[in-house]
């Protein structure tokens, strides 16, 4: 919307001042645009709580969005009014809330995980193996840099994960040889990049101004760099980002199909498998919570409902008495 260009620019500036993630910035701006379109281009200053309630109710009732999507739209509008327009909205009591279904995560058995990984090779195999072996989210795995590996201690340091928190998880001993070989190939590629004087990698926030040569230092290189350069959304300069998520997602989806799995598995399923299989092995749930980076233990508790012990660990009476022969 051209006549609201200044509003979009100011909103983007306020978000960057507060160091919101780029994806959050993009999502909030998208919700702002949809909010303006819903109200026929009226300026948000001329709208208030009733119009916000009307928009959020429309999302739930007519667009059938999930509770998480409606909540994201609400947070975007609250940010707009509080931090950009500096207007405090009254409590929104009349919003029809989207239903929040209680679903269990998809968890594969150990043979199924092995069958899936067998269908992968190269970088997708290594990334997927880290998702399962270290309990990483896909973005966490792709954002890994060389400096985040502690091979001697068998650890991975996950930087600025969900909620802006760092955490430490394990680097599976079974992957050490493959990771070292990958690092050797990456080092040779890195040396060639430096000889060709190509641009360095993207850096978090203002680090590039504080340490101008960090982008070309070995430690800051992505473990899984993209094949091509792109424009940094903040500086506009050419940089090398990490591998795109869709490269791994498509490879995993193809592997799910080839391995004949019936469950709708994805990259995130491997993280679910990591947690569930650790609990099945008898590890303390608090330890699993720390490895996953969950703030609330209740989030980790959901994996106790999908452990391979039957429904709530109860033995069926048919198993105790024996099934009668079929007639």
Region class of 151: left (phi > 0), else alpha (psi between -120 and 50), else beta:
alpha
Marked catalytic residue, from 132, 137, 222, 242: 137
162 has catalytic annotation: yes
Q: Is 130 within 8 Å of 141 (Cβ atoms)?
A: yes
Marked catalytic residue, from 143, 241, 242, 271: 271
User: Which of these, 187, 184, 217, lies nearest to 203 by C-alpha position?
Assistant: 217
Rounded distance between C-alpha atoms, residue 186 and residue 146, angstroms: 10
Count CB-CB contacts under 10 A for residue 225: 19
Compute, in degrees rounded to 10, the torsion defined by CA atoms 293, 246, 171, 262: 90
Residue with tokens 């990049």: 193
Marked catalytic residue, from 16, 34, 217, 268: 268
Which pLDDT belongs to residue 47? 92
210 has catalytic annotation: no
Rounded distance between C-alpha atoms, residue 280 and residue 33, angstroms: 46
Rounded distance between C-alpha atoms, residue 168 and residue 155, angstroms: 7
Which pLDDT belongs to residue 236? 83
Count CB-CB contacts under 10 A for residue 273: 25
268 has catalytic annotation: yes
Q: Domains plus CATH for the chain? A: 2-84 (1.10.150.130), 102-312 (1.10.443.10)
Q: Which two tokens stand for residue 164?
A: 């802006």
Marked catalytic residue, from 145, 242, 277, 294: 294
Which pLDDT belongs to residue 228? 94
Marked catalytic residue, from 83, 162, 182, 217: 162
Q: Is 283 within 8 Å of 86 (Cβ atoms)?
A: no
Where the chain has pLDDT below 50, the residues are 311
Rounded distance between C-alpha atoms, residue 74 and residue 65, angstroms: 13
3-state secondary structure 241-280: CECCHHHHHHHHHHHHHHCCCCCCCCHHHHHHHHHHHHHH
Q: Which two tokens stand for residue 136?
A: 């990483």
How much is the pTM? 0.83
Q: Which two tokens stand for residue 64?
A: 């059938």
How, if at all, do strands 167-170 and 155-158 pair?
antiparallel
294 has catalytic annotation: yes
Rounded distance between C-alpha atoms, residue 137 and residue 72, angstroms: 20
């Amino acid at each position: 919307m051209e006549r609201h260009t200044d509003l979009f620019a100011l909103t983007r500036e306020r978000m960057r001042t507060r160091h919101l993630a780029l994806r959050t910035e993009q999502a909030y701006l998208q919700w702002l645009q949809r909010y303006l379109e819903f109200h026929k281009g009226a300026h948000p200053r001329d709208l208030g709580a009733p119009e916000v309630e009307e928009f959020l109710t429309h999302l739930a009732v007519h667009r059938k969005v999930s509770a998480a999507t409606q909540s994201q739209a609400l947070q975007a509008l609250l940010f707009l009014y509080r931090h950009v327009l500096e207007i405090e909205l009254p409590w929104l009591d009349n919003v029809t809330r989207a239903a929040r279904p209680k679903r269990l995560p998809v968890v594969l058995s150990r043979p199924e995980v092995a069958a899936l990984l067998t269908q992968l090779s190269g970088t997708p195999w290594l990334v997927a193996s880290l998702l399962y072996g270290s309990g990483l989210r896909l973005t966490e795995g792709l954002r890994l840099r060389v400096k985040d590996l502690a091979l001697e201690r068998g650890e991975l340091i996950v930087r600025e994960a969900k909620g802006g928190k760092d955490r430490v998880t394990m680097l599976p001993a079974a992957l050490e040889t493959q990771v070292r070989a990958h690092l050797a190939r990456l080092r040779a590629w890195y040396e060639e990049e430096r000889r060709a004087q190509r641009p360095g990698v993207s850096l978090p926030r203002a680090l590039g101004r504080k340490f101008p040569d960090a982008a070309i230092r070995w430690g800051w290189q992505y473990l899984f760099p993209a094949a091509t350069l792109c424009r940094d959304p903040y500086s506009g300069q050419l940089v090398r980002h990490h591998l795109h998520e869709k490269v791994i997602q498509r490879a995993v989806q193809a592997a799910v199909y080839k391995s004949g799995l019936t469950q709708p598995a994805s990259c995130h399923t491997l993280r679910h498998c990591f947690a569930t299989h650790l609990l099945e092995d008898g590890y303390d749930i608090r330890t699993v919570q720390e490895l996953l980076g969950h703030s609330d233990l209740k989030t980790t508790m959901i994996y106790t409902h999908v452990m391979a012990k039957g429904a709530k660990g109860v033995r069926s009476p048919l198993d105790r008495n024996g099934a009668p022969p079929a007639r």
